[in-house]
Structures are given as structure tokens and as C-alpha cells.
Amino acid sequence: MPDSPQVDPSTIGDSYDAFYQARNPEHVYPVEFVVRAFLGNYPRHKTDKAGYPGKRVLDLGFGDGRNMPLLHNLGMLVSGVEISQEICDLTARRMQALGVEADLKVGRNHAIPYSDSFFDTVLACHACYYIDPGTRFDDNLREIARVLRPAGAFIFSVPIGTSYIMAGARDLGDGHMEIANDPYGVRNGYVLRKFDSEAEIRSALSPAFTDFEIGSCRNDFWGIDEHVWAVVCRKQG
């Protein structure tokens, strides 16, 4: 796969503005692991669908809002955080057309504009592992834990080291990788946190989280090898 142009990490918001303006779909569809996490019942993960109505959920890094109609249909009170006002405005218009109420704000993984213990659930679908300059993954985790109530659920995905986005990336240590060959031309020069084992996930999150339910997805989407961990855990009480 050919190298894509480098992107200044400080302008990634502009890159994603252009990305979402170009795709701007009328309808959106939830990510499969999110459907399974909220609705599925498995040997290592059980859901209680009766417990969702009225609960506050944060969709962190919501993108085009594809998971919001599902969360809304479950009766949850939906909020979202993205890195630019442009993305928030695009998604707000889309959700309004779909009849989905959502409170959308500009923020970052390490700077979430909500008060302490505000949410019952935080969902970070392909999002919480983006690392801003001058920060580390631990900074993101501390902020996510801050806005979660005690025993609140954290549902998220993070890349496995064999994922396509890690090809040719520069290893900065402790799982932090500077991306070099993003086929979509959005993330080159940006730092993402990858994990190579379940033990690494537990070690990184255990200071603030417990009750880990860890799965994985290893897909080849016509040359895009998307390998991710899918995790459900809870903030320590």
C-alpha cells in the first residue's frame, strides 16, 4: 500500500472535517461490535436491555453519529464529543433528521466537557486510542473515568498491533505508535495506542477499571485488515 501524505497532528480536526463533509451520509448504521456489546449475550458478556432506558451515555469520538440511533432506540440519553464544531454540526443535522436527540460538544479524549460522574456509560468506538500531542493514553483514561459514575460501563475498541493502521508506524514506546501509512490519508503523523494482548489492556486500565470482558475482531475488508479488541469494563466503585 503506498504511503499517504503526512498530516500535521495539530490540524487533524481540519482533516476530519473534510473527511466527514465528503461522506456526509443521509442514513447511518451502527458498528457491529457496538450492537453486540449493547444487545448480545455471550459466555463472557451478558447484557441487560431493561437497564438502558433513562441512562446517560457518552458517544466519545462519534464521527458521523452512526451509533447514536441505536443508543437512542434503547431509551438512553445521548451525548457526544468530537474534535471540531464542524463535525458536531454535521452530525446534529443528521440526528435531527432521524429524530434522534443528542447533546453534542467539542472536546478531546483527554478533555471531555462534562462534569464528574455525569455518565452511566461511555462508548468509545474506534476513538479513545487517539493521543493528542503532549499527552499519553493514561490521560485519556483518567478523563473517561472522571466523567463516569462509580460502576459505570466503559465500552470501547482499541487496535491490535497487526491492524492495517499500524503498518510502518513508528514505535514511540509503551504501545504508542506514530502512524505513517493511513490509506485514508487522515492520520499520518498522529499517535495511536495499540495493544498486543489482553494482559496489556488489563494492566493499562486496572488503576481505574475492573470487571473486564474482552473480545476481539480480526477482519479482512478487501485488503483492510481491521484487527481490534472489543472491551466492556466498569469504573471501580
Confidence (pLDDT) at 8 = 60
- When pLDDT is cut at 50, 70 and 90, the band that residue 3 belongs to is very low
Strands (DSSP E) contained in the chain are 56-60, 77-82, 102-106, 119-124, 130-131, 148-159, 170-171, 176-178, 191-193, 209-221, 224-235
Q: Does 10 have pLDDT greater than 70?
A: no
List the one residue out of 55, 190, 191 whose CA is nearest residue 123: 55
Summary mean pLDDT of the chain: 93
Confidence of residue 26 (pLDDT cuts 50, 70, 90): confident
Indicate if the pLDDT at residue 6 is higher than 70.
no
Given a cut of 70, whether residue 185 has pLDDT beyond it is yes
Considering the chain, what percentage of its residues have pLDDT values greater than 90? 88
Picking from 106, 113, 116, 98, the residue whose alpha carbon sits closest to that of residue 26 is: 98
Tell me the pLDDT band of 24, cut-offs 50, 70 and 90: low
pLDDT band at 19 (very low <50, low <70, confident <90, very high): low
Enter the C-alpha cell of residue 209. Answer: 477499571
> Per the structure block, which three cell numbers stand in for 79?
451525548
CA gap 39, 17 in Å, rounded:
31
How much is the pLDDT for 1? 37
**Could you tell me which residues are beta bridge partners of residue 6?**
none
- The interaxial angle of helices 137-147 and 198-205, nearest 10 deg, is 60
Q: Which residue has the higher pLDDT, 2 or 80?
A: 80
pLDDT value, residue 237: 86
| Cβ-contact 70, 102 below 8 angstroms | no
Query: Lowest-pLDDT range, 10-24, 95-109, 220-234?
Result: 10-24
pLDDT band at 2 (very low <50, low <70, confident <90, very high): very low
Q: What is the mean pLDDT of residues 72-85?
A: 98
Segment 125-165, tens digit of pLDDT? 999 999 999 999 999 999 999 999 999 999 999 999 999 99
Q: For residue 235, is pLDDT > 80?
A: yes
9-235: CATH topology? Rossmann fold (3.40.50)
Residue 22 pLDDT level (bands cut at 50, 70, 90): low
